[in-house]
Each structure stands twice: as C-alpha cells, then as structure tokens.
Structure 1
Amino acid sequence: MSEIQNKMFQEIRSKEIFNQVQQYSYEYLNSIFNRNVYPSEEALDNLSVFNEELPENSTKATKVIEQLNTYGNPATTATLGGRYFGFVAGSAVPVGLAAKSLGTYWDQAPAMNVLSPIGSKLESVVEKWLVNLFNLPKKTSAGFVSGTSTANLCGLAAARYRILERNNWNINEKGLRNSPKIRIVTSKQAHSTVLKAVGILGLGKENIEWVDVDKQGRIIPEEIPELDANTILVLQAGNVNSGAFDNFEIICKKAKKANTWVHIDGAFGLWAEAVNELKYLTKGLENASSWAVDGHKTLNTPYDCGIILCADQEAMTSALHMSGSYIVESSERDGMFYTPEMSRRARIIELWSIMKYLGKKGIDEMILTMNQRAKQFANEIEKITGFYVENEIVFNQVIVRCDSDKITENVLLNIQQLRECWLGGSIWFEKKVMRVSICSWATTESDITKAVKSFEKALEISKK
C-alpha cells in the first residue's frame, strides 16, 4: 500500500474531516438568514490567500478544510437566504441539501443503469412525476442536465434532428454542410441561452426570424411569420425580466397545423403549471414539442439541476446518441441517452427528494408564496416616491426603475454596496432597470419589507 493510499484510508476511518465539515456546515446554516447577502470587501480581499503554487507535498486534510472554510465561507453569496434577488437564483429546500450531502458520499454517475441502479430508478420515477405535474404527453422523455442552458441546447438539437430526418438528411452522418435549411423563429426578447444554443448547433444566429413583443415582453402571435415543417419556434414561459408568458394556446395550435417544432424555454416559469392559481399562464403548453426547465430556480433544488423534456423520444435520443463497444445497455433506464454528457453527477437524488418531500400541494404552496412576495414587493416599492414598477406581476419578477437611467444605476450600485439584499440590472425597452427575482422558499414578508427599506436608503444616498 502506498503512503498516500494509507493516509486516505486513515481519513476514512477517523471521520475527522467529515465531522469537521459537518460542524462548519451547521455554523453556516445558523448564520445564513441574517448575514450580509454579498461578501464584505475584506472577505473578497482575503481570497488572495488562494493565490499559491500547487504544493510539492501532501497537505494535512484538516488544514485544507480549515482554509476553505475560513476564507471561503465569508466570500460566499447568500443565495441560500431570503434576500438574494439576482439572476432568478433559487435557494435550496432543506431536504434537498441533506439529500445532496448523502448523494455526495454515494458519488453516483447515472450514465448507465449498471453504474447506478438507484440513479436510474429515481430518474425513471421523476420523469413520470414531471410529465404528470406539467400535464405533458404521456410519452414525453426527460433528461437531467446541469441547467436550462443545456436543456435548451438538447431541445433544439432534437428539433434539428427531426426536421432534417423528415428531409431525408441524417445530421449525425452528414453534418450540416449542404443540409436543408432550418428556420428559427423567436421573439426579440428570447433568452441569451437560446441564442447560444442556436450558435453551438450551427443553425446561425443571423438566420433567426425575430418577432416583436408587447409591453410585457410577450411574443405577439399576429406578428409570427407563416410557419412550416422546417421551422423551430422558440417560446418563453417566463420572460427573463418581466416574468410574462407567451400565449401558448393560440401559438401552439397554429404551429401544430404547420407541423412546426415548438420549444418552450421555461427555465423558471414552467413551474406555474404546477400551481392551481397560476396555471392559466401556461395553458396550451402541452402542445409544444420540447420544454426546458430548471430545478434550481423555482423548485429550489441545490445547483446544478436542469431538465429537458421532449415529446419525441426518438429525436431526443438520436440527437444525443451515444455508442461504444464498452457500453453496457440495460432493460432499465440508461440516462446517457437523454443527455449530451456521459459523466455527470446524480443530481436526480436531490430532485427526487424535494419532489417527494413537497408533494403536489407543497410545490403549489411554495411557488404561490413566491408570487405573493413579488406582489408584496411591488406594492411596497411603489409607495416610495421615486420608484416605478414597469411590469404586471404575474409570477415572480418585478422590474423597478427610478426617474432616470443615471439615478437607477446609482441606486442599484448603492443597494449592492449596502448588502441587505442583492439584485442585478437590465435593460427594459431601452431604459435601465433593476430586476428583482423572488425565487426562494425562505423569503418572508419581513425580508421583503427589509429589502424595500434598503431600496429607499439607497435612493436617499444617491441624492447626496
């Protein structure tokens, strides 16, 4: 046995570093809801301690963990808390954190059933749960990926495969050179990950047929060009700024007649279908061909957790094909056929745990509460002179601006420096705005009020 091997076996037996991490984790959880949402300047400066050459010799394990906690803990952004409103980044349901911890020790990779029978089983179960929860076609397949960026890529890859296959063109064998043209139709406010996927897949961003949007950022159905069977139409369940939803009922009906592939980018908004009071927003979504959604946004799974759902299983698995003489296929689910990558962690463990814990009623209640907190924020901020809410609050997004772009920019910077809450900026119809995303199970009424007071203070500072 080698020296390093013996050392690691001793660490397993002693459990010292695992107990050390558990203690640090509990301390973190005890402080997360009251700490500054963004790290202090001192904490950021202290990160320089990591600027070192790779050590020549092995470092004591407890020292490694101690350094990581001492300087890493204070430099984390408190996305787990209730006042982080940036980037539609969700918190994490407690049982999800616990399940992820357990899953980390299991260290499963559910590419094949033979690699992880438990991973394969949970993916099969959750696939059925999601199809039922979102009221999708029964034959819909799910792939569990890192996030909606990858899920959008998978959905458009499946669409590309099917459209070219209908034109007697095998994309896997022939590539794109001299292939039949594929049209891409989407709104002028499509998410950047859609554009990224279009570029990666070789479909060309210059080929996109852009469609105007209304004042809430919804694609205007009447402005959509004539569709056909060689077209991919990309819609949104939740505009990245306003949270608005495209009219799936009208648009998908039109697309279906033309045999057009409809992909819905529903990173955070697809979950509205699981809420009785909000499912009017997603009416008709079942008539699409593919759907992308995150677990780590609205459902509050730990990062990274995305899902691609596709009604055309053959197109999906053919687009993401995998082969090799060493591969052991099973009569059960082999997850690698539904995702671009083979090596991936079993994120399904925490997704299953959270859905099992919440159930349909819990999912409904948690997400509806986010909607209520967004409405509370809008109501409270509008009572302060100098702030204006720019959108209808239909889901979890609030767009706020001040009297000028300059004031908005200064106020946003002041809010970020105050660190009571954190959010980012955006551009909304050529105006600079502040984008508030209520996406945490932990956001309470008092969190909203505290955040609004921080806005008010930031505005006062900007006037000095």
Structure 2
Amino acid sequence: MDELRHLLRRAADHAADYRLSLPDRPVGVPVDQTALTEAFAVPLPDAPTPPEQVLAELVAAAEPGLVATAGPRYFGFVVGGASPAATAADMLAVGWDQLAFNAVTSPAAVAAETAAGTWLKDLLGIPATASVGFVTGAQAANTAGLAAARHQVLADAGWDVERRGLIGAPTVRVYAGAERHATIDRSLRLLGLGTDALHAVPTGPQGAVDPDALAAALRDAGPGPTIVCLQAGNVNTGACDDLRRACDLVHRYGGWAHVDGAFGLWAAASPATRHLVDGLENADSWACDGHKWLNLPYDSAFAFCARPDAHAAAMSLAAAYLVGSGGVPAGADLTAESSRRARGFAVWAALRELGRDGVAALVERCCALARRFADGLAEAGFEVVNDVVLNQVLVGFGDDARTDRVVAAAQADGTCWVGGTTWRGRRLMRISVSNATTTEADVDRSVAAIARLAR
C-alpha cells in the first residue's frame, strides 16, 4: 500500500507541475507525429513492468505531444481548463473508481449528480422538475434530448418507437437553423431519423434562426410529429436564437423544442448576458457542456429534459440482474452509457468552488476578454466580422489565403492557439475565450503576436 501511495503522489506531482507550467509554456508547436507514435509504440513486454517505471515512461513519451488546451491562451475551440477543485475531485473519482450506474452501484455518485443537477438547473433557469443526464459531451447531450423528443412526438402520434422502431412509423420532421452545429446532424443519424428528415431554416445576419422563416416552415408543414432544434450560442458568432418566440411557435404547432446550448446556455448564469437566452425555460430539452465554459475536466456535459418520463423511456434499460433499476430515473437511466464514470463529483466540486457569483463572473469576464480581443485586432487594422455578444470573435485578414496563412502562423508560433473557420463563404480566424485563467495580459500578448505574424 505504501507503493500505491507513492505512485499516486508521483502522478499528482506530475499533473500539478504540468498545470503550473501552462502560463509560460508554448500553447501548441509543430510535432513530429511519427516520432511521438514511435515513443509509445514500444514492443509489448512479456514480463510485468513496475508501475513507477510505467508512469515515468508515460510522462516521457507524452510530454512532447501535449497541447496546452487547459492554459490561458488557448482560443481555438470553446474549451476551458479544469478548475482546481474540479481537477482534485476528478482525481478522487479515479481513485474511488465508482460505477455510477445507479444508487446501488454507487450511492455517492448518484447523490452528487442529483445535487449538482439541482444547482445546474437553478443557475441556468431550467425548470426544477426537469431530469438531468450526466453525459460525455454536447454530442451525447443532443442525442439524449433528441431521443426524448423522438419518443414523445411519436407517442403523441400513437406510435411506440422503443418497441416498434421506425419502420412504418409516422414521418418525423426536424427543423434546425442553417448554421446548426454538426452534432445535430449526427444525432439524427444515430437515432435513425436521418439527415433527410432535417429541414434547414434560414438564419439572420449573425447566424440566429429567422423566427419568421421558422413560423412559415411550421405553418406550411401542417400537423405531424415535429422537432425543432434551436441554438444558444452559434459556434462561429456566439449568436443565440430568439428562444422565447421560437418555443412559442413550436408549441403552437404541437412540436418539441430542443436547445443546443453547448456553451451559449451559460449566458443564463449571468445577469449581464441572460437576455440573450430569454425564454429558454419554455423549451422541452436542453444540451449543455461542462468542459467548455464551466471549466470542468473532460468528459462532462448535461442532457436536461422537461419530460423526465420521456427522457427515461428513451434512454433507460432494465434487466433482472440489474439490482436497483426501475425506480426513480437517475444515473444510467438518463444516458446512453451503463458503465459510467462518476463525473458528478467534479461537477459538484466546481460549482461548490465557484458559487453562483463565481459562475456569473466567469461568464462576464470571458465576454469582456472577447471584446478586448476584438477591439485590439480592430485597432491593429484587421476586420472583426461578427457582433461580439458572447465569447466568440471572427477576424478576417484580407483574402482567404492570407487569413489561412495567419492562422497557421499563429498555431506554429506558440504564443496562443486560434482556429480557422468558414463562415458566410469566407475563411476567418475564430477566437473562443472560455478559460477561467485567461487574463487581459494574455489577450494583449496574443493580439500582439497575431498582429506581428500578420504583418
């Protein structure tokens, strides 16, 4: 047991050293992928290897290929860096090695999810009676929400999709904005609805769904099983759909309103941005990530559903040997995974660490830093093409080829990491600010580096 204690302390020391190095280390630099693969691809030994040697070899092999996505100057995707309490809680979760299937396999894991889910609903303005499934990411959260939607709209049409499947079922129409996230399309494929079921609704200047176009589409379609996918936080611009009006329209035509709020749903946690998601409480299901703006470890996200019965009907399972199943839906009843890690401990710890005011401050600070990014690059003579309403900034550097060169140069430089995207037919630099440790100095340093590289 002393050897195990020493091993885990060594692992914790390595992790802490890495995290403490993030403010100063290059964010991302070119890597020799072949050499990195070869460092791992040693022959499998016949004899056992001492755990401490395994740990040392793992650190040595992985170190050259680590990208500082948890650091303060990573702006390529909407990701955060796990907060101190969440990181420590996740390390405990690994050590405790709990099976979070239900309250029999781990009473503590289910209790943590129940408490954290209550806090999340309160923070985001989601009805307290909604169910919460702790899933891996927005893909899983959107799939769970749309599975519940599929169940309910077909049940309303007299069809039991869980028993009878989709062959011969009434046609389900799905509406989503033309600028929806790609996970919506994949969820429809996974659920057997297919992308042909999807009707793209035109969007406005910043990528939010045009409510008039949505109203016309629903009116022209007439009655029938209908699901509408709305968005809180356009992946390029940060724009949010008019959720109040859209939900009213969907329900007027008897449909199900699902909100993909992977990062934008966190706008509800701050009085300064809450107006952007006004009316979100009127939706039927919601998807939201934790490893984005809440700065939780991977993999952490949430599937909320205003109809817990539909949520459980679509996702749960039961068997004679599964002791404890079939009660109040919890744990694996609300997700697609049965062998689940206890990710609720880290969620509980992060929310306990931040509190209501801390979450609001995190959202507000990231939005302010995004505006600082936009102002700095605009002052340097570059074109900011979106309204910076949340934490997303789109920048053009002239023609598409030059923009791509600037993005590539920034990624190779190591000062910061930014991504490229295509929006409205143009290649643009995409900057996402969602790390709790990012400072004004980090933004200014990044702006200076981008301007230097562009010149």
* TM tier, smaller: over 0.9
Which is worse superposed, 54-63 or 392-401? 54-63
Q: Which residue of 2 aligns with 1:372?
A: 368
Give the conservation status (yes or no) of the 8 Å contact 2:285–2:303.
Answer: yes
Which is worse superposed, 273-282 or 84-93? 84-93
Q: Report 1:168-179 matches (<5 A).
A: 168-179=158-169
Q: 1:153 to 1:94 in 2, by over 3 A?
A: same
Output one character per residue of 1:241-272: Cα deviation in whole Å (capped at 9) or x when no partner.
Answer: 00000001111111122221000000001010
Give the conservation status (yes or no) of the 8 Å contact 2:36–2:62.
Answer: no
Q: Which residue of 2 aligns with 1:6?
A: none
Q: Which residue of 1 aligns with 2:46?
A: 56
Output one character per residue of 1:147-188: Cα deviation in whole Å (capped at 9) or x when no partner.
Answer: 110000000000000111112211111111010000000111
User: Matched residue of 1:382: which SS?
Assistant: helix
Give the conservation status (yes or no) of the 8 Å contact 2:172–2:224.
Answer: no
Q: One-letter code of the match for 1:252?
A: C
Q: Which residue of 2 aligns with 1:16?
A: 6
| CA–CA distance in structure 2, aligned partners of residues 26 and 258 of structure 1 | 54
Q: Structure 1 stretches of 5 or more lacking a match? A: 1-8
Q: How far did 1:43 drift?
A: 8.3
| CA–CA distance in structure 1, aligned partners of residues 292 and 410 of structure 2 | 23
Q: How far did 1:333 drift?
A: 5.9
Instruction: Work out whether 1:188 is the aligned partner of 2:184.
Output: no
User: Matched residue of 1:57: which SS?
Assistant: coil
Q: Cα RMSD between the aligned structures?
A: 1.5
Give the conservation status (yes or no) of the 8 Å contact 1:47–1:72.
Answer: no
Q: Which residue of 2 aligns with 1:226?
A: 218
| CA–CA distance in structure 2, aligned partners of residues 414 and 44 of structure 1 | 22
| CA–CA distance in structure 2, aligned partners of residues 95 and 112 of structure 1 | 24
Give the conservation status (yes or no) of the 8 Å contact 1:90–1:297.
Answer: yes
Q: Which residue of 1 aligns with 2:343?
A: 347
Give the conservation status (yes or no) of the 8 Å contact 2:148–2:310.
Answer: yes
User: Matched residue of 1:68: which SS?
Assistant: helix
Q: How far did 1:323 drift?
A: 1.1
| CA–CA distance in structure 2, aligned partners of residues 95 and 359 of structure 1 | 12
Output one character per residue of 1:32-87: Cα deviation in whole Å (capped at 9) or x when no partner.
Answer: 11100014536873442112232221112111110111221232111111000112
Output one character per residue of 1:406-449: Cα deviation in whole Å (capped at 9) or x when no partner.
Answer: 10011111111101111211111000011100010011000001
Q: How far did 1:364 drift?
A: 0.4
Instruction: Work out whether 1:87 is the aligned partner of 2:87.
Output: no
| CA–CA distance in structure 1, aligned partners of residues 412 and 172 of structure 2 | 47
Give the conservation status (yes or no) of the 8 Å contact 2:29–2:412.
Answer: no
Q: One-letter code of the match for 1:345?
A: R
Instruction: Work out whether 1:421 is the aligned partner of 2:413.
Output: no
Q: One-letter code of the match for 1:58?
A: P
User: Matched residue of 2:192: which SS?
Assistant: coil
Q: Aligned pair count?
A: 449
Instruction: Work out whether 1:454 is the aligned partner of 2:449.
Output: yes
2:276 alignment partner, one of 267, 275, 281: 281
| CA–CA distance in structure 2, aligned partners of residues 28 and 193 of structure 1 | 32
Q: One-letter code of the match for 2:218?
A: E
User: Matched residue of 1:168: which SS?
Assistant: coil
Q: How high is the TM-score relative to the length of structure 1? A: 0.94
Q: Structure 2 stretches of 5 or more lacking a match? A: none
Give the conservation status (yes or no) of the 8 Å contact 1:82–1:440.
Answer: yes
Q: 1:158 to 1:333 in 2, by over 3 A?
A: closer
Q: Which residue of 1 aligns with 2:194?
A: 204
User: Matched residue of 1:41: which SS?
Assistant: coil
User: Matched residue of 1:70: which SS?
Assistant: helix
Q: One-letter code of the match for 2:357?
A: K
| CA–CA distance in structure 2, aligned partners of residues 152 and 415 of structure 1 | 33
User: Matched residue of 2:441: which SS?
Assistant: helix
Q: Which residue of 2 aligns with 1:397?
A: 392
Give the conservation status (yes or no) of the 8 Å contact 1:108–1:119.
Answer: yes
Q: Which residue of 2 aligns with 1:4?
A: none
2:352 alignment partner, one of 356, 374, 380: 356
Instruction: Work out whether 1:139 is the aligned partner of 2:135.
Output: no
1:265 alignment partner, one of 249, 260, 263: 260
Share of identical aligned residues, percent? 35
| CA–CA distance in structure 2, aligned partners of residues 390 and 188 of structure 1 | 19
Q: Which residue of 1 aligns with 2:312?
A: 317
Output one character per residue of 1:342-392: Cα deviation in whole Å (capped at 9) or x when no partner.
Answer: 01101100000011111111100111100000000000000112x210100
Q: How high is the TM-score relative to the length of structure 2? A: 0.96
| CA–CA distance in structure 2, aligned partners of residues 259 and 129 of structure 1 | 30
User: Matched residue of 1:433: which SS?
Assistant: strand
| CA–CA distance in structure 2, aligned partners of residues 44 and 388 of structure 1 | 38
Q: How far did 1:338 drift?
A: 0.7
